Amino acid sequence: MSADQLGAKALAQDDPREFRLTALEFKAIASQINDLSKQTFAGLKGLKN
pLDDT the model gives residue 2: 75
Which pLDDT does position 44 carry in this prediction? Answer: 92
Query: What is the structure's pLDDT at 10?
Result: 80
Look at residue 37 in the predicted model and tell me its pLDDT.
94
Low-confidence ranges of the chain (pLDDT < 70): 49
Q: Please give the pLDDT value at position 23.
A: 86
What is the pLDDT at residue 32?
A: 93
Q: Which residues contact 1 (CB under 8 A, 6 or more apart)?
A: 9, 25
